[in-house]
Amino acid sequence: MTGVDGATPAGADLTDHIVLVRTSPRIPIGLLSADGWAALHSGPVYAHDPAGEDLARAVQAAGIDVWRLDVPEPPGGPLLAPPLGVSSARALRAIAATGGGVVVWLLRPEGDAELSSALADLAAREGGVSIEVVVASWDPPGARLLDAVAVMDRLRAPGGCPWDAAQTHASLAPYLIEEAHEAADALATENSDALREELGDVLLQVLFHARLAEEIEDDDERWTIDDVAGGLVEKLVRRHPHVFAGLEVSGAEEVHANWDQLKQAEKAGRSVVDGVPVSAPSLARAGSLVARAARAGLPSPETASLPEQARTPSGLGAHLLGLVTAATHAGLDPEGALRAAILSYAASLREAEELAGRADPAHGGDSALDGDSGGRTASAGRTAPATRSPGTSGSTRAR
């Protein structure tokens, strides 16, 4: 920039400004920040392919011209040409120098690493040029879940992975159980890195089953990952009125009680047995049934005496292991025996509910991963058949 006498005016900015506009590919195209739109109006806008890039088309739809960057043919021909990134960087600087001092470049989703590197090298070697990156849109928390959905779609699509394409809900069921157990193992060992990885494997199973359901032809049966997430959000909001509806509570115990009451209203007519997964380990299933029956005022199995040394977590574990050892040496199957006792106890609970008129037989049967029914009561004084369970389980709030 020079004055009428050829001199440079005092205070004039001799720096060529190159503005790189970066956006998130996970945010709707054209949903840009105020800084992003301001950058687009600061100088001529260029892109690799104005007609083929989504961001470029959105900018043009907003009334801003986007130009294709023409890189001059080098004097020595293609064999002596510098890398395209270097040529593009020099072309952008030339535009800035002759067009008002500013030029804007729309970065592609992958980031244009070669061009960005060439611009940084140009600024360091020659000076007189500034590189500014304007983040016009960014990922909100959870945005990478969209990538996970897209990857699963690609794996199941024609031309994707043959193994993934061959899977069904039934064939994947063992993997869901296995991955959940591996996540639990990571929790038990307090291995945070392993837990993160195993939770990713559990998430894969959720995405996989949702993708399979999305392919169902019957409109009434089809659902998607959005339906899964939407149902979860609605449930959490509904079950937390103290957070989302202004309900006053005294503490965690009242929250737990409200949770059970809300669940009872939502699942009226269902048995306390419903929702206890039949695929769960027998010991965990026994503890869940006992805890749910106690909350509902239903009979508990006959309680076995617990030795003093077994009244700590480590002592109880040793005691249970000793029972398994004794049963094994006696030629008995402890897992099968406990499972049979659970079936007998579950049948007695259904009988107690039906006699009390508090369960609808049409809703019988276990429903995996459905949460407990909770909150029901039964007539006092009834006793269950003499089925024994080694100890009791602490109450947990099922989702």
CA distances to 27, 46, 111 from 142, in Å: 12, 31, 21
Higher pLDDT, 126 or 37: 37
Q: Read off the pLDDT of each residue in 351-374 and give the average, rounded to a whole number.
A: 51
pLDDT in tens, 234-248: 999 999 999 999 889
Residues contacting 18, CB < 8 A, separation 6+: 92, 93, 96, 102, 103, 105, 119, 129, 130, 131, 132
41: pLDDT strictly greater than 90:
yes
Q: What is the pLDDT of residues 247-274, one digit of tens each?
A: 898 999 899 888 878 877 777 667 888 8
H-type alpha helices, 215-251:
225-239, 241-244
Domain 144-239 CATH (choose: 3.40.50.150, 2.40.30.10, 3.30.465.10, 1.10.287.1080): 1.10.287.1080
Would you say the C-alpha torsion 50, 53, 59, 60 has a positive or negative sign? positive
Q: CATH says 16-135 is which class?
A: alpha beta
Phi, psi of 151 (to 5 degrees): -65, -45
* Strand order across the beta sheet in which 45-47 lies: 66-68, 45-47, 102-106, 16-22, 129-135
Give the closest residue to 239 by CA, choosing from 247, 228, 229. 247
CA-wise closest residue to 85 among 113, 46, 123? 113
pLDDT tens by residue, 157-186: 999 999 999 999 999 998 998 999 999 999
pLDDT score for 27: 86
Q: Which phi and psi angles does 307 have, rounded to 5°?
A: -60, 150
Judged by average pLDDT, the poorest of 2-6, 249-253, 300-304 is: 2-6
Question: Residues spanned by CATH 3.40.1010 within the chain?
Answer: 16-135
Q: Where do you find CATH 1.10.287.1080 in the chain? A: 144-239
Strand, coil or helix: 370: coil
